[in-house]
Amino acid sequence: MQKKLVIGTASSERTQKNLVIPFVSSKLTDGKLLVKDLNNLLCPKIFSDISEKDKVYQNLDSLIEYFVVKHTKKLKKTTKDHLSDDFYNFLLRPYFNYIICSVFSKFQILKNVIDSSKESLAVEALDVNLGERFINFQHFHLNFHFNQNFHMWISSVILNFLKNDRVKIKTIGSFHPQPFLNKKRSIWNEIIKYKMFTKPHRFFFLFSNLLNDKFNKHLLFKKVYGIGFFISLVFSSILLLKRRRHFVEQKSAKVHKKNFNLDNWDPNFINSLEHIIMQTLPYSFNEGFNDYLSKEKNTKTRKARIIFDKSTMQDEFLIKQALSKENGRLVFVQHGAGYCTHNEYRLLSYEFNSDMFIIWGKQAPNKGQCEFISLPSPLLSKMKNKHRFKTDTLVFGGTCINPLWDGVLYPDPSHLRGYLAQKVDFFNSIDTRLIKKSFYKAHPAGENDTVFFNEVFFIKNSLPELQIIPSNMNFEKYLLSCRLLILDHYGTAFYKAMASNTPTILYFGFPFFDFLPEFKNLLNEFHECGVFVTSAKDAAIKANDLWDNVEEWWLSSKVQNTRNKFCKLYAQTDSFYLFKWANAIFKL
Give the tens place of pLDDT for each residue, 17-55.
444 454 444 344 444 555 555 555 556 677 777 778 878
Measured in whole angstroms, the distance separating CA 493 from the mean position of its chain's CA atoms is 15
Summary mean pLDDT of the chain = 78
Is pLDDT at 319 greater than 70 in this prediction?
Answer: yes
Question: What is d(CA 85, CA 185) in angstroms, rounded to the nearest whole number?
Answer: 32
Q: Give the contacts of 13 (CB within 8 A, at least 6 positions apart).
A: none
Lowest mean pLDDT among 189-203, 447-461, 502-516: 189-203
CA distances for 544 relative to 86, 432, 528, angstroms:
55, 10, 18
Count how many Cα atoms sit within 13 Å of the Cα of residue 391 in the half-sphere of its side chain: 17
- Collapse the DSSP code of 357 into the 3-class scheme (helix H, G, I; strand E, B; otherwise coil) and give the result: strand
Distance CA 190, CA 185 (A): 8
pLDDT at 425: 92
Adjacency order of strands within the sheet including 18-20: 18-20, 3-6, 121-125, 167-171
Confidence tier at 316 by pLDDT (50, 70, 90): low
DSSP H helices, 117-199, are 137-146, 148-162, 187-192, 195-198
Instruction: Select from 182, 174, 65 the least CA-distant residue to 125.
Output: 174
Residue 49 burial (CB count, 10 A): 11
- Give the CA-trace dihedral at 102, 104, 108, 110, to 10 degrees: 60
Domains annotated for the chain, with CATH where assigned, are 1-184+245-299 (no CATH), 394-570 (3.40.50)
Report, as an integer, the average pLDDT of 565-581: 94
pLDDT at 20: 47
Per-residue pLDDT at 579 exceeds 70? yes
Q: Which of 17-26, 179-188, 202-211 has the highest mean pLDDT?
A: 179-188
Please report the sign of the dihedral spanned by the C-alpha atoms of residue 439, residue 445, residue 450, residue 452: negative
Model pTM score: 0.84
Rank 48-62, 127-141, 309-323, 561-575 by mean pLDDT and report only the highest.
Answer: 561-575
- Comparing 49 with 251, the larger pLDDT belongs to 49
pLDDT confidence of residue 305: 64
What phi and psi values does residue 226 have, to the nearest 5 degrees?
105, -10
pLDDT in tens, 113-158: 888 777 787 787 889 998 888 998 888 988 888 787 888 899 899 9
Residue range 377-435, pLDDT digits in tens: 999 999 999 999 999 999 999 887 665 666 677 777 677 778 888 998 999 999 999 99
pLDDT for position 308: 66
Task: Tell me the percentage of the chain whose pLDDT exceeds 90.
Answer: 34
- 3-state class of 296 per DSSP? helix
Measure the CA–CA gap between 346 and 279, rounded to whole angstroms: 23
Over residues 465-480, mean pLDDT: 91
Dihedral of the alpha carbons of 489, 490, 493, 498, in degrees to the nearest 10: 130
DSSP letter for 442, please. -
